[in-house]
């Protein structure tokens, strides 16, 4: 398997760095090929704008980013830094995002990697999303750390359900582009636990990496479960944990129960 780790932490000696190093060592020892995009070390430019278009513009008078991306993909080529990352994406069977949870999401540098690399035309297009996404048959997963305890990220926690916080990446990026989404690996507040607990986190991650090819992906509803307005059809019971279908007489609480049922995919 070919694995691309997109690493987004400014300190190589951080616990995120340790998780990245553990992944490289474990996957390499298992015979997989591994490449790392260390975004801070690369001094990756995060902002998407006019400087991202190398050839003649489709409309020089108005910057429509998605239209210009599609035009560039058809007529010219991306900037050299984006071209290198797109080649890595095409090479990879699995992409791992390794990052700290900042402000309930990814660091800006990682979001900027997505903005600039996963462009329209290259990563998605009309009719090439979700079930028909460009990267159908490939896998993606998150490995992230938090600054606070797991109890804060429970459904009744002050920070909200961690599953919901990761939905914009799981569904809005990975699944949208066609990837099979593997359950995330979560390391809770590594800066505030003991060295022994951090060692257990690393051991847990190593075990996850050793079993990646046997790990079932998270559940997402297929296209046939949706009507022409892209809402779940009446009668379809929502199983993703992030949707509930009033057309099936389902409440939000019942949808949450469905997500935690033994036969449902659940984050570990």
Predicted local distance difference test score (pLDDT) of residue 260: 45
Phi, psi of 98 (to 5 degrees): -110, 115
Summarize the chain as % helix, strand, coil (round to 5).
Answer: 40, 15, 45
- Domain 2-213 - what CATH class? alpha beta
141 exposure class (CB count in 10 Å sphere: 0-12, 13-18, 19+): buried
Quick check: pTM over 0.85? yes
Query: Would you say residue 265 has pLDDT above 80?
Result: no
Segment 53-75, tens digit of pLDDT:
988 999 999 999 999 999 999 99
Segment 181-214, tens digit of pLDDT:
999 999 998 989 899 999 999 999 999 999 998 9
Give the residue extent of every domain in the chain.
2-213, 219-268
Answer positive or negative: Cα dihedral of 40, 43, 48, 54.
Answer: negative
């Amino acid at each position: 398997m070919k694995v691309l780790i997109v690493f987004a932490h400014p300190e190589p000696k951080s616990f995120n760095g340790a998780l990245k190093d553990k992944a490289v060592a474990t996957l390499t020892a298992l015979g997989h090929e591994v490449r790392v995009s260390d975004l801070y070390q690369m001094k990756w430019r995060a902002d998407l704008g006019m400087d991202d278009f190398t050839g003649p513009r489709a409309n020089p008078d108005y910057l429509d980013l998605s239209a210009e991306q599609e035009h560039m993909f058809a007529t010219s080529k991306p900037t050299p830094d984006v071209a290198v990352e797109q080649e890595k994406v095409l090479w990879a069977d699995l992409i791992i995002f390794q990052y700290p949870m900042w402000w309930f999401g990814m660091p800006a540098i990682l979001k900027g990697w997505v903005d600039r690399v996963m462009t329209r035309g290259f990563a998605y297009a009309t009719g090439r999303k979700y079930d028909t996404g460009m990267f159908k048959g490939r896998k993606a997963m998150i490995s992230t750390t938090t600054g606070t305890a797991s109890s804060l990220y429970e459904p009744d926690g002050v920070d909200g359900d961690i599953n919901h916080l990761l939905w914009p990446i799981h569904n809005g990026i990975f699944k949208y582009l066609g990837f099979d989404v593997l359950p995330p690996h979560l390391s809770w507040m590594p800066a505030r636990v003991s060295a022994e607990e951090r060692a257990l986190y690393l051991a847990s991650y190593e075990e996850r990496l050793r079993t990646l090819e046997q790990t079932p992906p998270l559940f997402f509803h297929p296209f046939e479960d949706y009507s022409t307005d892209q809402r779940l059809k009446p009668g379809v019971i929502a199983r993703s944990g992030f949707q509930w279908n009033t057309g099936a007489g389902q409440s939000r609480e019942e949808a949450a129960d469905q997500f935690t049922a033994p036969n449902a995919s659940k984050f570990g």
